[in-house]
Chain A
């Protein structure tokens, strides 16, 4: 691990100031991603600003909705009674990720900002435009079984690995941040970005901005939801494809529906046109298949991840069926209902 200055922030202002002073300074919260990457020399911050003593760990009611502090741990959020009752898709997605130990340490802000699990990104000895801009992309034409099939560029085909963010995308959460130029709110769909020509930038947050909270909207779709995660092992593995689906039904007619995919793009992947195909339609397999077909018609698979296209298509149909039937995927009993 490289040597770094350490600053313990007592206030948000102190934290922002300490990071703004340059030296490739970074915030650190749970440390489960940053310390890992520092051990691989992928991240080499000159300064770490410890934000864990800031009063940002609360989960609070706000205008009939919930505000989740950036330092609320993944475990605290997943097991919060209000989240379980009103936003069960979020609880489910978090519990589908990582492990008990990691979720106890990992924070909401850190989860949003966790970096890709692309093997080349982790391996200093290989080219990677995200780690070292201009060095090339090892995954294009290389080992890319876990990589993206949507929204890729000729510079990078990495995925964002979070489960939590996929549920937040379906819920249309917003991210409240602050920095030297003041506070702003970023819709989740605009928080993560596509790689384009700047794969080194994962998000639209600037380096000196701190995440304060994730704000959930009032509607949590507690009646019809699911988080379906498909991976190489039944637990403790990142998604190859995951789907967070939420729905509101009027009898058997779909009144509202949204779904987001994980493991397939540089950000949680939504397709508004495909979601539009569900509105006003009967909640049947045919309806769901039409939406799924629309999504995968835009897929651009690479040499080893073509299987993800069919996997995604089927996962979307199954997730929408689970949501419509009110039988969400269990994260304990791994059988796919």
Chain B
């Protein structure tokens, strides 16, 4: 069912929305209560984006919506109709090159992960931080990244990696 402004869509009706996900325009049928995170993982098999807490408390689900980082667990997919979504699977493409995104390179270089569960969220969040342009110093990077918890405690190396990319002037 297509959304018409002002007309209620009854619970249990699937609605048709359009999303551009990692550069690919898609028409999707979603139930209104589907979060963007569940849509990505359960319906589209884009399992790079992780579910940690499902309550905005860990950052594992961070994706870029129209270039801005948000927690996909607290976003209803239906409300993002028309948006461009970038997940960790699309990050490399976002940087234009053929290889990895500069942040991905730097994470490998600096050993910025252990189990890797938080890493997709860390990467998307860091890409958002680069785009926002408010963080330059280590303190600023740390604060800007405070919404991404790493249970393995790879924080020091994560900050190293992001600092490296910011200093090299590479763009997100």
Contacts and interface: CB of A to CB of B under 8 A. Distances in A.
B6 A102 contact: no
Contacts of B5: 8-11, 14, 53
Interface residues of A, number: 42
Contacts of B49: none
A105 interface: yes
Contact of B74 (A3, A5, A31): A31
A78 to B, nearest CB: 9
A18 B69 contact: no
Contact of B139 (A48, A236, A333): A333
B25 interface: no
Contacts of A105: 70-71, 74-75
Nearest to A2: B33
B8 A47 contact: yes
B32 interface: yes
Contact of A31 (B54, B59, B79): B79
B140 A332 contact: yes
A50 B6 contact: no
A101 B6 contact: no
Contacts, number: 114
Contacts of A75: 132
Interface residues of B, number: 42
Contact of B143 (A4, A9, A10, A235): A235
B100 to A, nearest CB: 22
A241 to B, nearest CB: 20
B8 A100 contact: no
B115 interface: no
A106 to B, nearest CB: 9
A48 B62 CA distance: 24
Nearest to A103: B147
B134 A52 contact: no
The list of the 8 closest CB pairs from A to B, nearest first, reads A99-B147, A10-B5, A3-B11, A235-B146, A6-B32, A14-B6, A5-B8, A105-B70
Interface of A: 1-11, 14, 17-18, 28, 30-32, 35-36, 38-39, 46-48, 50, 52-53, 75, 79, 98-102, 104-105, 235-236, 331-333
Given A35-B35, A235-B146, 5 more contacts: A4-B33, A6-B9, A35-B74, A101-B62, A101-B69
